[in-house]
Amino acid sequence: MMDYKSSGVNIEEGYRSVEKIKGYAKKTLSPLVLNGLGSFAGMMELPEGYRKPVLISGTDGVGTKLRIALDLKKYDTVGIDCVAMCVNDILCHGAQPLFFLDYIACGKLDADVSSELVKGIAEGCLQGEMSLIGGETAEMPGFYEEGDYDMAGFAVGVCEKDQIITGETIESGDVLIGLPSSGFHSNGFSLLRKVFPDFQERVNGERIGDLLLTPTRIYTAIVMKALAQFDIKGMAHITGGGFIENLPRMTQKKSLRLNVYKDTYKLPAIYEVLASRGVDKESFYKTFNTGIGYVFCVSSVLKESFLEFLKSEGENPVLLGYVDEGEEELCFR
């Protein structure tokens, strides 16, 4: 006699996974959440005070960084990356994060592993100031190998319609100010795994697997404070594609050129190792974040006060460059 378990799907392990996950999710819930895990859908009220609220959403995954976590059997941080890659994107348009949904797929479900993955997601939600209101864990034998997991997520935030950051007000003379990344974040890992095939190797005194698994920084707290006090004209999350792809996304004006001075900050030491192992230095800026994870565009009049504000919040900001007119979208100086 055959049943679902004989086909490779363990319903009881799924129940155990849900029970372990509930505690992590509960810690993230705000008073706006109307129900807990277990319903067919998550429900959340919009915050009061908005005249014309607009929902802003983003979705992403962890990518092949997840392979390192699986190989090292360290599952509790890549969930932070999953949240970060979504929430940092919606922040760029001025969205106050509201809630997050996750999707985890595997070949054979292990409740201990899946709950550790969600533990990281819950931590990411706490850092991102949002609620984890639901998700899906799919056991798919024959589609994924046993021991393999994949992870993706979906973030939703809210913004007043007339306060959405679109980049339309960016003009010649404005300045670009960057915030440090916490590492490679969650981009370029197909290349990184090729350069560093042994995750136990020690580089600059640190196990490379630990360095590569450093969670993506989530910028919610500092972005929300900045929006409350300054006229922010544009923002960019420096994710896949680095400066080259992401900086021009902060403005739709084709006549503007974003100028970046490469010597305004020192590349993290790991980039010297990449170069020594044959990675083209010119590819750094279109593959990795090169040490800068988030960029603001403000008027030059606000430059000094904004830099002082960021420093007072414990940041180490970098004056990256400026905006002028030109045919190129991005120019390195």
Q: In the prediction, which pLDDT does 9 show?
A: 72
Question: What's the pLDDT score for residue 7?
Answer: 64
pLDDT at 253: 85
Q: Above 70 in pLDDT, residue 107?
A: yes
Here the tokens at position 116 are: 């550790």
Per-residue pLDDT of 74-87, as tens digits, reads 999 999 999 999 99
Strands in 256-260's sheet, in edge-to-edge order, are 234-237, 292-298, 175-180, 318-325, 256-260, 330-332
Averaged over 76-100, what is the pLDDT? 98
Tokens of 318: 């970098």
Strand positions, DSSP E, 107-248: 131-139, 149-160, 175-180, 202-203, 206-207, 234-237
Q: Which pLDDT value is given to residue 19?
A: 83
Nearest to 86 by CA among 151, 28, 25, 31: 151
Q: Does residue 30 contact residue 48 with C-beta atoms inside 8 Å?
A: no
Structure confidence at residue 240 (pLDDT): 92
Lowest mean pLDDT among 37-41, 117-121, 262-266, 296-300: 37-41
Residue 136: count other Cβ atoms within 10 Å of its Cβ: 10
What pTM was estimated for this model as a whole? Answer: 0.95
Look at residue 13 in the predicted model and tell me its pLDDT: 79
DSSP lists the bridge partners of residue 274 as none
The whole-number pLDDT of residue 181 equals 98
User: Beta strand 292-298 with 234-237: parallel, antiparallel or unpaired?
Assistant: antiparallel
Confidence of residue 2 (pLDDT cuts 50, 70, 90): low
The answer to whether residue 20 scores a pLDDT higher than 90 is: no
Average predicted confidence (pLDDT) for the chain: 94
Mean of pLDDT values over 289-311: 98
Query: Residue 76: which of 121, 111, 21, 106 has the closest Cα?
Result: 121
Distance of CA 269 to the CA centre of its chain: 22
More confident residue, 22 or 270: 270
pLDDT at 143 over 90: yes
The pLDDT > 90 percentage for the chain reads: 88
- Quick check: 3 pLDDT over 80? no
Which of 36-40, 128-132, 144-148, 197-201 is predicted least confidently? 36-40
